[in-house]
Structure 1
Amino acid sequence: MIQGAALYILMRMMMGVYGYTGIEKAILKARKLAPELFMKAPERATKDGYKMETHSVQTDDGYILGVHRIPGIKTSPPILFQHGLGTASDSWIVFGRERSLAYQLADNGYDVWMGNARGNLYSKNHTTMKPTDPQFWKFSWHEMGIYDMPATIDYILTTTGHTKLFCVVYSMGNTMTYVLLSMRPEYNSKMRLVISLSPAIFFKHTTSPSTLAVVKNWNLIKRYLDSRPTYEMFPYSDEMNAMYFYLCQNRKNVQKMFENVLFDSFGESRGLNRSELPLIGATLSGGHSLYTVWHFIQLIQSGRFQQFDYGEKLNEQIYGSSKPPEYNLKMLTAPVAMHYGASDSLISSKDIQNLSTILPNVVEARQVPTEYFNHLDFIMHPRIKELLNDHIMKALEKY
């Protein structure tokens, strides 16, 4: 919410400079000066020299997901990338060939697939509902886990003819995957290896000031959001991308403000390049539902990895108990390799270590070998190839 307040202030600053009627002209100018901010994943991949396919995957509850693929060698195993909260498949390629694990695996012949969770800019379709319908947005990462992930996995395996795949999952991508493997354990046998990057499961030792502030004031925030009412949060928009460009371009005071917002939310980093702040902002504006955030807030408040809490009365009707049931992490029998950052204030190393003692088949729990590596660094750190990607590629060869 602190991030949202800061972005709102920046938007108002841009409105003051250009005026509401000048926004369209400002966007056109920004597109000419910084076209990379407005590129969608297929266009970006083409620019980088890769052939990307777009596939449509329908879930059992009617959502239509956009899935991106960079085809590999036919006999090579497929690998599914699943993004974090507020991002999309772009996050795996947006920082170019030198940093993108997806590109690097494609260069080595892997069949690369990049999923998109319901509600983001590539997955806003449904067989019967429209995004303007409030009911469309009544989902969290629970539904992403029990519907989006299996639909995407089955589509990939059917299309490629393989029986197993690799998964590289970041932040909320882990939450989705762990829900799937705990509630539909038959999918464990379809996993060669799960690469867990900063898994968002436990938050007992979270030190992120902005996250803790949201949790502390959630009842007030929720009442405000309900009064609007709000269903979709931080959707992709050209206006926001233009804002990032104008306000972060050669404005040291605004750059410092944006940097502080990121560090306050995700932890300190030594890998942040201020010239990339507009690209980072655009990457974090993929769109998601209010319920998705609400479910994470509940995890932090309860200290449990549990299903959505509807309140005691509805919980009794839905679950047969006053409290929502916990996900049984002992059901995750697929091999899991965890990676975490020393300065990640959102997902603490202590919580990762605790998680590693619960899962039955953790093959590795590795801290990225540098003192400052925060939550966002898993997709943007300038030295990510040597610090993380090379290690992952060697691990994949074993499976």
Structure 2
Amino acid sequence: MAALRNMRSLAINLSLVALVILAVEPYGSFGSSRGVPFHFKTDYNGNGNGMCASAVAVHGYKCQEFEVTTDDGYILSVQRIPEGRVGGGGGPNRQPVLLQHGVLVDGVTWLQNSPEQSPAMILADNGFDVWISNIRGTRYSRHHVSLDPNSPDYWNWTWDDLVVHDLPALLGLVFEQTGQKIHYIGHSMGTLMALASFSEGKQLDKVKSAALLSPVAYLSHMTTALGVVAARAFVSEITTIFGLAEFNPRGEPVSDFLKALCAQAGVDCYDLITALTGKNCCLNASIVDHFLKNEPQSTSTKNLVHLSQTVRDGVLSKYDYGSNDFNQAHYGATKPPRYNLTNIPHDLPLFLSYGGQDALSDVQDVETLLDYLKFHNVDKLHVQYIKDYAHADFIIGITAKDIVYNQIISFFRNQG
């Protein structure tokens, strides 16, 4: 039993390290595997001007800024690209699409490439009404009706809360503004939010279809070349980081932890992203540089703990408070309730795309997810497997337009 507990503890630490460095080390841009390899740009690409001004309007697109307040008081920033730069059709009732980013990034992740290669602009140019989400805690969504982001109480949430509070607010805003059901695109944790919500019968009255890229409902096989070294050397440092309510990759405690990790023998920070997420096939240096100007973003440490629990337990559950008594107080049961993905309506149109080189959304874990969807209506489930793709290729790969987004556009249009 002790050995089993140790293995589970190891899995938690592996998952947290992987999730952190996924965002912090974007795509092999560290200068050295010794010394001080972590270098973040401080530009943040027009932080004070809003995302529309800094990342959309500069390319000649119309863009509107919205705010929506969740029912627990978080004020979320939402951007709308109502039409394409050069038309794109769609008429007066252009179909709305909500783009939901993953963990440790924000909505700018959909706007990193040129307009011809950025998902948000590709969709706008193809006749869709594009809405971009920024979840609580990210740079444009750090406001609350009463809580200060410098307070630990502001960061007392996990992705459960994104499912219960953020997602309904975001979809409600789009539905209210457009009067139409919404196509949803999620990447990484954005897929987890949707699947959990759909499994509980939530938001189905507002969602027309969903495209899930690099789905991460299950993470049991998320193993990396760096993981063994990280877990062996830094189990104690993980507990120190857990003392932080806000997990800020640009902050000194996290930065020091990651610098120390890169100083370990056998760890090559030149190619850390490959060691962690698999070999992305289709990124270029200019996109890496642009990414570093905008990401990573903060999340709550509690959120990372929750994601780590998914690795440890091999099931998709609500947050585990760590004791039978605490769980009983929160859930009326000694174990946290599970999200049952077999409850997702079989007639909900779903598009799933995953990569053969993705070490974070591992093929075996995606196959587990697909097994839960095995009774889905055949004509409502489209599965795309891309042998050469890894985690980042789906969002900022230079070939994603031709390989992924053209397929998604066809899928959406086929839903009527």
Q: TM range, normalised to the smaller chain? A: 0.7 to 0.9
**Cα deviation per residue 1:98-150 (whole Å; 9 max; x = unaligned)?**
21121011112211001111111111111110101101001111100110001
Q: Deviations over 1:258-292 (max 9, x none)?
A: 55121122111222323433223344312211111
1:330 aligns with 2:346: no
Amino-acid identity (%): 26
1:351 and 2:326 equivalent?
no
Give the Cα–Cα distance (whole angstroms) in 1 for the partners of residues 247 and 362 of structure 2.
Answer: 25
> Does structure 1 conserve the Cα–Cα contact (< 8 Å) formed by 2:212 and 2:350?
yes
Instruction: After TM superposition, give the deviation of residue 45 of structure 1 in Å.
Output: 0.6
Match of 1:225 among 230, 241, 257: 241
Match of 2:80 in 1: 69
Q: Which amino acid aligns with 1:230?
A: L
Matched residue, 1:378: 394
Structure 2's unaligned 5+ residue stretches are: 1-16, 84-90, 255-266
> 1:390/1:5 Cα in 2 relative to 1: closer, same or farther (>3 Å)?
closer
**Structure 1 residues not aligned, in runs of 5+:** 18-22, 241-255
Does the 8 Å contact 2:32/2:269 carry over to 1?
no
Retained in 2: the 8 A contact 1:59–1:151?
yes
Which of 180, 183, 199 does residue 182 from structure 1 map onto? Answer: 199
**Against the structure 1 CA distance between its residues 344 and 110, is the aligned structure 2 distance closer, same or farther, given a 3 Å change threshold?**
same
Worse-superposed segment, 132-141 or 267-276 = 267-276
Q: CA 1:315–1:209 in structure 2 vs 1: closer, same or farther (change >3 Å)?
A: farther
> Which residue does the alignment assign to 2:178?
160
Change (3 A) 1:357 1:62: same
In 1, are the aligned partners of 2:32 and 2:270 still within 8 Å (CA)? Answer: no
| 2:101–2:109 Cα contact (<8 Å) kept | yes
8 Å Cα contact 2:45/2:294 also seen in 1 = no
Shift in Å at residue 5 of structure 1? 8.9
Partner residue of 1:135?
A: 153
Q: Secondary structure of 1:56's partner?
A: strand
Please give the alpha-carbon distance, in whole angstroms, between the structure 2 residues aligned to 1:137 and 1:9.
33
User: SS in structure 2 opposite 1:45?
Assistant: helix
Matches of 1:151 and 1:201, distance apart in 2: 22
Instruction: Give the whole-Å Cα distance in 2 for the aligned partners of 1:393 and 1:353.
Output: 24
Q: Does 1:284 align with 2:290?
A: no
Match in the other structure for 1:123: 141
CA–CA separation in structure 2 for the residues paired with 1:187 and 1:59: 15
Do 1:80 and 1:165's aligned partners in 2 also have CA atoms closer than 8 Å?
A: yes
Does structure 2 conserve the Cα–Cα contact (< 8 Å) formed by 1:145 and 1:178?
Answer: no
Aligned match for 1:55, one of 48, 52, 66: 66
Q: TM-score, normalised by structure 2?
A: 0.79
Instruction: Work out the CA distance in 2 between the residues paired with 1:8 and 1:306.
Output: 39
What is the CA–CA distance in structure 1 between the aligned matches of 2:145 and 2:288, rounded to whole Å?
A: 37
Query: Matches of 2:135 and 2:344 in 1, distance apart?
Result: 21
Who is 2:356 aligned against? 342
Once the two structures are superposed, the pairs formed by residues 1-399 of structure 1 within 5 Å of their partners are: 1=17, 3=21, 13=36, 41-42=51-52, 43-72=54-83, 73-162=91-180, 164-183=181-200, 185-210=201-226, 220-226=236-242, 229-234=243-248, 258-312=269-323, 313-333=325-345, 334-359=348-373, 360-361=375-376, 363-368=381-386, 371-399=387-415
SS of corresponding position for 1:115: strand
* Pairwise CA distance, 1:212: 6.6
Q: 1:285 to 1:341 in 2, by over 3 A?
A: same
> In structure 2, what is the Cα distance between the partners aligned to 1:383 and 1:37?
29
Letter in 1 for 2:245: Y
3-state SS of the aligned residue for 1:46?
helix
- The match for 2:11 is none
Change (3 A) 1:57 1:281: same
TM-score scaled to structure 1, two decimals? 0.82
1:252 aligned residue = none
1:372 is displaced (CA, Å) by 2.2
> What value does the CA root-mean-square deviation take over the aligned residues?
3.2
Q: How many residues align?
A: 363
Contact kept, 8 Å, 1:37 with 1:282, in 2: the verdict is no
Deviation at 1:36, TM superposition (A): 8.4
Cα pair 2:45 2:293 within 8 Å, conserved? no
RCO higher in structure (CA 8 A, sep ≥6): 2
Q: Match of 2:130, SS?
A: strand
